[in-house]
Structure 1
Amino acid sequence: MVLGRQRRQIMKILIAIDSFKGSLSSKEAGEAIKSGILRVIPDAEVLISPLADGGEGTVETLVEALGGSLETVRVKGPLFQEAEAHYGILSDSQYSPKDEKLAVMEMSQASGITLVSPEERNPLKTGSYGVGEMILDAYHKGCRRFLIGIGGSATNDGGIGMLSALGFRFSKENGEEISPIGEGLKDLAGIENASVPEGLLQCSFQIACDVENPLYGENGASLIYGFQKGGNKELLSQMDLWMKHYSELVKEYNPAANPEAPGSGAAGGLGFAFRSFLQGELKSGVSLILEETKLSKKMQGADLVITGEGRLDEQSAMGKAPIGVAKLAKTQGIPVIAFAGTVTEGAKACNQAGIDAYFPILREITTLEDAMNKETAKQNLADTVEQAIRLYRLQHKKQ
């Protein structure tokens, strides 16, 4: 009986904090927080769970925290230039049911806008072929589950580039294959899947997508995102008509295809392609990461949850990773505190979104370069956490 009481008295604290971009990874920030906690409560049970939002840094975060491998593959970039893409493979059965390997990818590694200089950006000439090559590489390495973030695309090809690399065939009226780039859509007349590996169609695709645009129309892929990819109004209006025609042909191939479904216009139509050809499921990036890392289960019995990111502001309250953590914690009645490199006046909205209190970690007036220095940031984070936990422990004892 005594031992049972002692076990229950041990405080359990769960840490799920996003990276401080340019300074600390999610894991590094978590370890710094843990050290601050243990200064005050040496016998605390402290769990660190990786956190990301499906965008840049997601692959590194999950691979580093969950013990996966980082893979490198040569692919065709947006303009069919040689590019080196990285993705992660996780095989731990805790994260991959049925011991299936999980591939974690960022579309931007192969078809991102940062791979094309501003003067070369042209939605007619860019394509998503490299994304398909990345998927195929992981498939041949045994992956049957895919988690893919599709933010930051340079393309507006409806996903035909990716699909072409996977073995789908898109043809003109005369039977010739179209170019797997944006302007190829204008000649599209037929769709076949005879060359797609049979097993690929049985794979699971979870797509991290945080936009809700349809495939075409005034809020579609071309007319909303095409300008930043190098298009002008006249060109993009024409491409929008090609997208509509494309969707009509896809509906003949798959009657369940829905160009109006939220997220179909993401990444130049890649969202529509994943749904229509690979039975992909589009979800918020934060939700997918929280599910894959089993955060809800890890939270069970926790006395406190700690989250945060490099900068807390009004945008943080609109569904970014720390708010996803806070909402999950609130379903279990667990208090939440957050730490950030800096906070703005607008961060007050985070209190209404589930974060009970937040703290900036800067300790003195300094330069941005010094503040973002890895060792300085670790020290500042650990020291700030220590003081917050001292206050929390004092309050906890009174209850």
Structure 2
Amino acid sequence: MALEILPDAADLRRGRRERALAQMAARDIDILVLGRQANVRYVTGAPQLWVAGTRPFGPICEVVRSTGEIYLNSTWDEGIPDEIPHENLYGLAWNPMTLVEVLKALPGAATVQRVGTDSLTPTFAQLLPMAFPNAEIVDAEPALRAARRIKTADEIAVLRGALSVAETALDAARAELRAGVSEQTLTGALMEAMAAGGVTTPATQDGAWATSKEHPWQRARSDGRIEDGDLVAFSAGVLADGYLGEVGRTWPVGGVDGSAVAGLYDRWDDLRERLIAACRPGSPASELLAVYEATGERLPVMPVAHGLGLGFDPPVVTPQLRETCAQEIFEPGMVLAVTAYVWEAGVGAVFGREAVHVTADGPEVLTSSPSSMGARANSAGENAGVGIG
């Protein structure tokens, strides 16, 4: 089967590029030299092959503010947007001096005053001044973060598509939930549904796990087998069209203590609603940490929230970054993955993750999967237990 590589839609590319150029103007950056893949995708809209994994910095993409032109490291035209002409493409090179010559040929390279880069290695810290002899080399990552943190309407639409695939995959895995099934089988069902939805890049490694009744952050058992009475957490994350969509839910299986589980879901619902309400313009990200503390729930070991976009975006809201979180102010256009997590000894944990769009009118929840899991509806069984599978 031939692999079809398509660039992002023209309106999507244009909106992002305008935001990037505006940040360059605001920070007086003449040329951007980018190496981080999410930033390259943001300004170009071109998906690239063979770029997974960690690698040292290299000049993959350049943006010239005076002309708006983009130069891209690519050995072929497939999937390259029309606004990046063939003559603006340059091939792979093992010799870094070959790349320096490419940079020297950029319009204005010899005279520009400020060049921004999103990363740097000791080698390129020495080589970039050779390409831009009169320029100050500055950190451009703050400019890219500022551009990326506010999503355009087209970006919100693509995020909705990624979330739709994630939620469909979660539903498929949920349909396989029963006593005796393995966590691996549930994760496999989730991944299969993602692939059927056209996405073969999962954003998370673990798709399902039985929560522990003895420890708030551990799995129920090491063999991965699901048993009656478990609360099983599902985490579906996909990278679709470059954008990350995440949703999390928890479901009871077999005979569970109806009143205890219903009480746990009540706590989770309360925490979830408070967290969503805190995602309003002008509120500091640290408010999400305060919500956990106000409700008396343990702060989770995973981030309480992080930005969604072309990958895992700032802000990262975690107790380890309290001072940073206090300085991060929510703005209209931001999209967050918000995690609500509660645990009770002898019962287990209820985990949920929502995609929340911060708007001028308040938070908008982009996820649509049922959040109550039917636990309270089933609580009529009370101590006799409830069954879902």
Q: TM-score range by the shorter chain?
A: under 0.3
TM-score normalised by length of structure 2: 0.22
Higher relative contact order (CA 8 A, sep 6+): 1
TM-score normalised by length of structure 1: 0.22
Query: Is the helix fraction higher in 1 or 2?
Result: 1
